[in-house]
Amino acid sequence: MARPTQGVRVDNALIEDFEDIRASVRALCAGFPGEYWREQDRSRAYPTAFVEAMTQSGFLGVLIPEAYGGSGLGIQAASAILEEIHKAGANAAACHAQMYMMGTLLRHGSATQKQTYLPKIASGELRLQAFGVTEPTSGTDTAALKTTAKRDGDTYIVNGQKVWTSRAEHSDLMLLLARTAQPGPNGKRHDGLSVLLVDMRDAVGNGLTIRSIRAMINHATTEVFFDDLRVPAANLIGEEGKGFRYILDGMNAERILIAAECIGDARWFIEKASRYAKDRNVFGRPIGQNQGIQFPIARAFAESEAGNLMMQKAARLFDAGEPCGAEANMAKLLCSEASWHAAEMCLQTHGGFGFAEEYDIERKFRETRLYQVAPVSTNLILSYIAEHVLGLPRAF
Ligand SMILES: Cc1cc2nc3c(=O)[nH]c(=O)nc-3n(C[C@H](O)[C@H](O)[C@H](O)COP(=O)(O)OP(=O)(O)OC[C@H]3O[C@@H](n4cnc5c(N)ncnc54)[C@H](O)[C@@H]3O)c2cc1C
């Protein structure tokens, strides 16, 4: 039976707090207060000024090795950046994928591909932040995806459809998972899936159509249609047919970083609720004097601190190159629940005012709900823990 990694050496390592980086992120976010985010949310606008500031600051290139023009730091530093953004009441969803999606290219791309793209991604000249995996009919069952890429000379011809492809309208490149072959008689269902790097600047109007989806949150998410789109065969990442493995490789990083965003959200809700509970007087005393108000705040705090410890553990293991699947999944589970419980607590603490747009709570409440579903739903995480950590029988 596989067990969560003990990682004694890693557990005993000093926790680096990245206070200098955190202070810089806080200073940047101070220029984008609640009213900025409210306005973007109201009009479902892409927060271009914020993303530009993040790009100029170099924060989005934090995980790219120095040899390619990035900062060469690890997932712990990236987590600190994303947590601070969310703790400031902002939202990193418009640009967080620029940080970590290049990992697939870095780990599995050819030397030429890395040299061609990574320096430009590090500088922000190229945006790689669209990820085409989910499809309308296959959903979580990735192996059932129907988008095909057929080899024709030195190109692939792509046909099919993706849904919830976030930031496609604000990205130059897309990492696309498509079927290049059916699995052989003894193969696994995921065999035959390949990753292509699609240059959307050439593709839109030439076989690629993007339609935005108006959603509960301001997430720049879209549906994408491929109609005989030609992609150069040189844009295949790694080996044909092994793409699912490459996508899986990036999932631990994504789960840890999403967990960090959840911790930022939880801390924002807890701080906001604590302040209000001290200031708001009803029945001649602060509402925070009532244990019915105190206890949910205290519980949210305890949950978020526990989730944060798991997130830190997963991040340290990841940076040490140790296995961290169990920890990354548990971090995503615990932190997304902590942020959702904190959101519920904060709304309740504010009573009617929690529903007023100008308090930002209703926006953050909607935004943090996403993490129960995307990038991976809670049930799928529980299923991973049950099967791969506890050795329970495979369910599907
Ligand atoms: C705002 C937003 C942005 C997104 N961005 C992207 C993106 O950029 N790129 C991308 O590829 N995808 C993206 N997604 C898609 C997201 O990853 C999926 O929505 C998510 O993985 C769930 O898939 P689904 O919606 O098809 O749900 P389904 O697979 O239809 O599942 C529906 C529900 O059933 C549950 N379920 C399904 N099977 C089982 C089972 N065997 N056991 C128990 N429960 C089960 C699921 O947990 C879920 O709660 C985004 C989604 C949203 C909402």
Residues 143 and 79 in one domain: no
Contact 86/371 with Cβ under 8 angstroms?
no
Identify the pLDDT of residue 186. Answer: 87
283 lies in a domain? yes
Residues 235 and 252 in one domain: no
278 lies in a domain? yes
Instruction: Tell me the CATH number at 132.
Output: 2.40.110.10
316 lies in a domain? yes
Site to probe by mutation for ligand 1, drawn from 96, 134, 213, 340 as the one with most ligand atoms within 8 Å of Cβ, is 134
Residues 288 and 382 in one domain: yes
- Give CA–CA dist 359/365, Å, rounded: 11
2 lies in a domain? no
Residue nearest to atom 18 of ligand 1 (CA): 374
Identify the pLDDT of residue 7. Answer: 40
- Token representation of residue 4: 């969560």
Residues 255 and 339 in one domain: yes
Distance 223 CA to ligand 1 centre (A): 14
pLDDT digits (tens, 9 = 90+) for 223-255: 999 999 999 999 999 999 999 999 998 999 999
Distance 340 CA to ligand 1 centre (A): 18
Instruction: Tell me the CATH number at 33.
Output: 1.10.540.10
Last residue of a domain, one of 58, 93, 123: 123
Q: Which residues face 389 on adjacent strands?
A: none
Residue 245 burial (10 A CB sphere; 0-12, 13-18, 19+): middle
135 a catalytic residue: no
Instruction: Tell me the CATH number at 328.
Output: 1.20.140.10
Q: Which of 84, 240, 254, 327 is catalytic?
A: 254
Ligand 1 atom at minimal distance to the Cα of residue 219: 1
Last residue of a domain, one of 97, 123, 149: 123
- Give CA–CA dist 195/180, Å, rounded: 9
Q: Which residues face 223 on adjacent strands?
A: 163, 211
Residues 79 and 155 in one domain: no
Residues 216 and 267 in one domain: no
Ligand 1 atom at minimal distance to the Cα of residue 216: 1
197 lies in a domain? yes
pLDDT digits (tens, 9 = 90+) for 106-153: 999 999 999 999 999 999 999 999 999 999 999 999 999 999 999 999
- Total number of domains constituting the chain: 3
394 lies in a domain? no
Residues 197 and 293 in one domain: no
- Give CA–CA dist 103/227, Å, rounded: 28
396 lies in a domain? no
Last residue of a domain, one of 105, 123, 141: 123
Site to probe by mutation for ligand 1, drawn from 373, 384, 387, 394 as the one with most ligand atoms within 8 Å of Cβ, is 373
Identify the pLDDT of residue 1. Answer: 46
Residues 113 and 150 in one domain: no
Residues 382 and 287 in one domain: yes
Residues 172 and 210 in one domain: yes
Residue range of the domain that includes 230: 128-242
Task: Please identify every stretch of the chain with a pLDDT value under 70, giving residue numbers as ranges.
Answer: 1-15
Ligand 1 pocket residues where CB is under 6 Å: 131-134, 139-140, 164-166, 215, 219, 221, 370, 373-377, 379-380, 383, 396
User: Whose CA is closest to 149, among 180, 181, 184?
Assistant: 180
Going by C-beta distance under 8 Å and a sequence separation of 6 or more, which residues neighbour residue 256? 75, 79, 311, 314, 315, 318, 324, 328, 331, 332
Residues 19 and 103 in one domain: yes
Distance 332 CA to ligand 1 centre (A): 15
pTM above 0.85, yes or no: yes
Identify the pLDDT of residue 15. Answer: 67
Ligand 1 atom at minimal distance to the Cα of residue 141: 29
Residues 275 and 383 in one domain: yes
373 lies in a domain? yes
Identify the pLDDT of residue 165. Answer: 98
